[in-house]
Amino acid sequence: MLQIQLLRENPQEVIDRLKIKNFDATDLVAEIRQLDTDNRNLKKSLDDNLMEQNRGAKEIGMLFKEGKREEAEGLKARMAELKEAEKTGRAKLQELEELLQAKMVLLPNLPNAAVAPGKGAEDNEIVYTEGDATNMGPDALPHWDLVKKYDIIDFELGNKITGAGFPVYKGKGARMQRALIDFFLDSAIEHGFTEIQPPYMVNEDSAYGTGQLPDKEGQMYHCQVDNFYLIPTAEVPVTNIYRDVILKESDFPLKNCAYSACFRREAGSYGKDVRGLNRLHQFDKIEIVVIEHPDRSYETLEKMTNYAKSLLTKLGLPFRVLRLCGGDISFTSALTYDLEVYSKAQQKWLEVSSVSNFESYQANRLKLRYKDATGKTKLAHTLNGSALALPRVLAAILENYQTDKGIVVPEVLRPYTHFDIID
């Protein structure tokens, strides 16, 4: 959520910058400003009422003590009037506040100045490429054939047990998963991240705190009996650690990493992109989450992106980095880099990481703040990124490392897999 002060002080800037995200905020901003004014006026009159009541109550106490009964009774009558006005004022204020809040969450985060305008994925800017992204011969198999050939992932079985999008990893497939998780976690720890094992279900407050609610409700699995949500990413529980927290400046940066299974309903995605490991309802991911001082968050974004890049380099996968354009960047992000690996058999770029700076947008909802040098409380900045999401990394490894003899395990993973080929 944006800070309302921004709309008070500089509404035009908000409108202009949101244009980059192809979002026309003109009417919404006007509406919010009106609501905000009404809200403050009402609050003022309610406060005045309450002040009179507070004073009156004290006075009545005094009057009774002094034995001035009639005077006290007279005041009581006045109090009854005030109370009546208070009731209507309160109801109206609550209504206004809820409406204001509901409108505020409709405003996306402002994009950073580096975000280029654009319609969609095709307008993203390639800022870096690495490795050999040429295609393999016509004999190269896509991973959904490879996993059958070597019997390491069983989609049919997942179908039987649960449904589409819940694959079963078997034998060396399962061990590859475990190796990747360990490799990613160990690397993150080496880079100064603290490992967290979060809950896989969160309550409503947490889902709201990171912005999954009220918007993306349909994207999460909901456990209705207890009103819990299955996490779509570890970002949700890990960031919510800091909900309602006030940090010291010296606490920055807070660097956490977490492995978790992620659950996504993916309502509305069909077609060829969902084939094999490309899009699943349950998948594994290592997430890095950083809470940072506003002055340093962009520096940190670069570091996080570089860190994610280093993982792909070590795995020997060709990849590129995109700076997302206004049309493709998420609602809540100010600047996002996507990392895509090249899958030689599918002849396609696959997104394996997305690293974003949310600036204070998430922090505002989370009430995640810090005290600055002068003792003022201010909103912190939050950042997160995948480092990395497993299924597509695995898909790329399987495809790019296939040989006549089997799938060669990338060097860095061998200490974790304890085997060097899948055959």
Partner RNA sequence: GGAGAGAUGGCCGAGUGGUCGAAGGCGCACGCCUGGAGAGCGUGUAGGCGCCAAAAGCGCCUCCUGGGUUCGAAUCCCAGUCUCUCCGCCA
Q: Which residues bind RNA (CB under 7 A)?
A: 4, 40, 43-44, 46-48, 50-51, 53-58, 60-61, 64, 76, 79-80, 83, 246, 369, 371, 377
For residue 56, give both structure tokens: 């009156």
Q: Is-contact 233 260, C-beta < 8 A?
A: yes
Residue type at position 162: T
- Residue 3 or 347: which CB sits closer to RNA? 3
- Residue 144 or 228: which CB sits closer to RNA? 228
- Residue 267 or 373: which CB sits closer to RNA? 373
The least distance separating RNA from the CB of residue 76, rounded to whole angstroms, comes to 4
- Residue 68 or 149: which CB sits closer to RNA? 68
The least distance separating RNA from the CB of residue 40, rounded to whole angstroms, comes to 4
For residue 25, give both structure tokens: 């905020």
CB atoms within 10 A of CB 218: 10
C-alpha distances in Å from residue 79, one per residue of 50, 59, 65, 71: 10, 11, 18, 13
The least distance separating RNA from the CB of residue 377, rounded to whole angstroms, comes to 4
Q: Is-contact 38 100, C-beta < 8 A?
A: no
Helix (H) or strand (E) holding 190: helix 172-190
The least distance separating RNA from the CB of residue 336, rounded to whole angstroms, comes to 27
- Residue 129 or 377: which CB sits closer to RNA? 377
The least distance separating RNA from the CB of residue 230, rounded to whole angstroms, comes to 17
* Residue 247 bridge partners (DSSP): 370
Q: 254-263 and 194-196: which strand pairing?
A: parallel
The least distance separating RNA from the CB of residue 50, rounded to whole angstroms, comes to 4
Which among 267, 285, 158, 279 has a CA at the least distance from the CA of 221? 267
- Residue 264 or 369: which CB sits closer to RNA? 369
**Rounded Cα gap, residues 234 and 253, in angstroms:** 19
Q: Is-contact 117 27, C-beta < 8 A?
A: no
The least distance separating RNA from the CB of residue 122, rounded to whole angstroms, comes to 40
**Rounded Cα gap, residues 335 and 324, in angstroms:** 7
- Residue 112 or 206: which CB sits closer to RNA? 206
